[in-house]
Structure 1
Amino acid sequence: MQMEIDTPLNLFLNGSNRIFWGYLIASVLIASVWYIRKDRSISLSRLKAYWLNADSKLDYRYFLVNWVFKKLLILPVLLSGQTVALWTLDNLNAVAEPLFLPWYYRDIVLCYTLSLFVIGDFSRYWLHRWMHTNRWLWKFHQVHHSPESLNPLTFYRLHPVEIILFALRHAIVAGVITGIFIFCFGARVDLYTVLGGNVFVVILFSFTGNLRHSHIRLGYGRWLEHLLVSPAQHQTHHHPESMQKNLGSVLALWDLLFGTLKLSQDAPLNQKFGLGVGKRQNFDSVTKIIINPFFDIYTIIRRKLK
């Protein structure tokens, strides 16, 4: 059997990834309709200015660096969801007998799929919020907010420390939920998927997910934006004056419940992104993206010790 070599290209071929080619095509179609409705012209010069500006070129380079960090340096040594699931199951078995509840298989799969989606999205909200409110973690997360021009690969402009934290979050949440379900229902645990991704994520998010990091101001309307985060809402989150708003990933419900919701209709109309005037230069190269957050933290510590 020939072993498949994992490459960055596979991210475009796997339906469980945001930049799967099908989602990108869907985003292009939606963006084209949006432009036509706005009576805007699409010219080669405008496309070149957007896709080949300094921020976009940096995102393309850092996309490869991000993949190297994940595949070669981070993921092999991180805690896995399977390890957490076994640990959870062992601890539950130590205090009680497995329940083996007689639910229908379809109900188990539906409940498991929905639990992973809802609890996973809830945990992403709080970790993302923590990245903004904790002065130390913000030094790493500001890397993601540094570009003043957004494109789908801006999603991958994350500092390695943030990559580690979100990978651990996923392993813990998925592992604990899986362990609990195995304890309750035995080995009859499965996931409803579409193109390899959680069916709820694919249906509710994937086809417009790539427009979140773009200049396509696509809103969902006031009612729906109380439930789902629209591309326009996430673009508002990248506005220098609104970075504490719209911290949710898929569900806007968490922003509504915890006071961080901002509807796209209530946000400034100008497409202004980044950290503010003069701050982009702190993260305008791959080296600066990786090193400067540590220098910022060192500076804070040094000032405190004086």
Structure 2
Amino acid sequence: MAIDTPLALFMNGSSRIFWGYLIVSTVIAIGWYVFKVGAISAPTLKAYWFNADSKLDYRYFIFNWVFKALFIAPVLLSANTVALWTLNWLNSVSEPLFLSWYYRDIMVAYTLSLFVLGDVSRYWLHRWLHTNRWLWKFHQVHHSAESLNPLTFYRLHPVEIMLYALRNALVAGVVTGIFVFCFGARLNLYSVLGGNAFVVILFSFTGNLRHSHIRLSYGRWLERLLISPAQHQVHHQQKSMHKNLGSVFALWDWMFGTLTLSQHVSSEDKFGLGQGKREKYGGIIKIIITPFFDIYNIIKRN
């Protein structure tokens, strides 16, 4: 698991906070705000970018990078390892298939498989984080923010980071192993700016608006297929935080009963966990240790 430096994340096209995506999101945000609200004032910008939540997100973003580089990356499975395990197991039960598909078709199938299976696996892991009472204590770290900005995306407890990294290694590794077994080592990914082409096209340019106060909706029909920034903001609102668990596709929420359209939830509902909960996670040390104390208290009560 390679860990980019914080600066490299802004330069990497496969990163959510790539500078190009940030510029596009900024242009969209300015246009939306001017149209919906009016002129943008300096005090408004200062209150948004330098409130307590934003400043904590900036500090935790750096802490997270250091923690991942020192303690998480060295011990996690890599997708290459999982791919080798998958390929060895398949070779033990059958001869490689070496199907004679066109190379272009293999690339499209491989890229699409990684994208779709990656997205549905993120949905189910996210749903598990919400429904398992132990894991919910860790995921509450992310939901504790009452003001959202693009770096809120990185406000994740290290336990959750490890779970998502393991999910990625398993999905990417198994898919890669199966494709090598079926087609040989003629694999490549259709990419844009270094990222999966489908992710970049369908998600990245408005991805930063999901953790913002720009309530951009895709409309009632498209929000049944794709998660809009407004729908993810609904997910962060106190009264509907167990809805809209999808990452790119809203289809999984629609199929499994967790979909809510943004028009059905008032924009006046507050973000966060409720009264007094933000202070509970109001610093880096609190973010790290509070979930463990919560779990200990659950065990003690039982």
Specify the TM-score bucket, using the shorter chain as the normaliser: over 0.9
Secondary structure in 1 aligned to 2:121? helix
Give the aligned partner of residue 286 of structure 2: 288
How far apart, in 2, do the equivalents of 1:8 and 1:43 lie? 29
Cα distance in 1 between the residues matched to 2:34 and 2:74: 46
Superposition pairs of residues 192-271 of structure 1, within 5 angstroms: 192-270=190-268
Return the alpha-carbon distance in structure 2 between the equivalents of residues 15 and 199 of structure 1: 11
Matched residue type, 2:127: R
Distance in 2 separating the partners of 1:18 and 1:215: 17
> In structure 2, what is the equivalent of residue 175 of structure 1?
173
Among candidates 137, 140, 152, match of residue 139 of structure 1: 137
Post-superposition shift, 1:268?
A: 1.2
Structure 1 segments (4+ residues) deviating >4 Å: none
Task: Tell me which residue corresponds to 1:80.
Answer: 78
Paired amino acid for 1:176: V
Q: Which residue identity is paired with 2:99? A: L
Percent identity over the alignment is 75
Match of 1:163 in 2: 161
Bigger Cα displacement from structure 2, 246-255 vs 29-38 = 29-38
- Output the TM-score relative to the length of structure 2: 0.98
Matches of 1:203 and 1:173, distance apart in 2: 21
Assess, with a 3 A threshold, how the Cα gap between structure 1 residues 275 and 235 changes in structure 2: closer, same or farther: same
Contact residue 29 and residue 214 of structure 2 kept, 8 A: yes
The aligned residue for residue 65 of structure 1 is 63
Distance 1:136 1:6, change over 3 A: closer
Return the offset for 1:6: 4.8
CA distance in structure 1 between the aligned counterparts of 2:267 and 2:298, rounded to whole angstroms: 35
Identify the residue that residue 303 of structure 1 maps to in structure 2.
301
Residue aligning to 1:126: 124
Q: CA deviation at 1:271?
A: 5.2
* Equivalent position SS for 1:24: helix
Could you report, residue by residue, the CA deviation over 1:219-266 in whole angstroms, capped at 9, with x for unpaired residues?
A: 000111000000000000000110110000000000000000000111
Corresponding residue SS for 2:259: coil
Correspondence for 1:114: 112
Instruction: State the number of aligned residues.
Output: 300
Supply the AA of the counterpart residue of 1:93.
N
Equivalent in the alignment of 1:17: 15
Distance in 1 separating the partners of 2:11 and 2:69? 17
CA distance in 2 between partners of 1:79 and 1:26 (Å): 34
Is the Cα–Cα contact under 8 Å of residues 9 and 15 in structure 2 kept in the other structure?
A: yes
* Equivalent residue number for residue 187 of structure 2: 189
Does residue 103 (structure 1) correspond to residue 101 (structure 2)? The answer is: yes
Distance of 1:15 and 1:172 partners within structure 2: 23
Q: 1:8 to 1:73 in 2, by over 3 A?
A: same
Deviation larger for 72-81 or 130-139 = 72-81
Any gaps of 5 or more consecutive residues in structure 1?
none
Contact 1:219 1:264 in 2 (8 A): yes
Quote how far apart the aligned CAs of 1:36 are.
Answer: 2.0
Tell me the distance in 1 between the aligned counterparts of 2:166 and 2:22.
27
* Amino acid corresponding to residue 228 of structure 1 in structure 2: L
1:94 equivalent to 2:89? Answer no
Name the SS of the counterpart of 1:82 in structure 2: helix
- Say whether the 8 Å CA contact 1:215–1:271 is kept in structure 2: no
What is the CA–CA distance in structure 1 between the aligned matches of 2:99 and 2:74, rounded to whole Å?
35
With normalisation by structure 1, the TM-score equals 0.97
Q: In the TM superposition, what is the alpha-carbon distance from 1:69 to its structure 2 partner?
A: 1.7
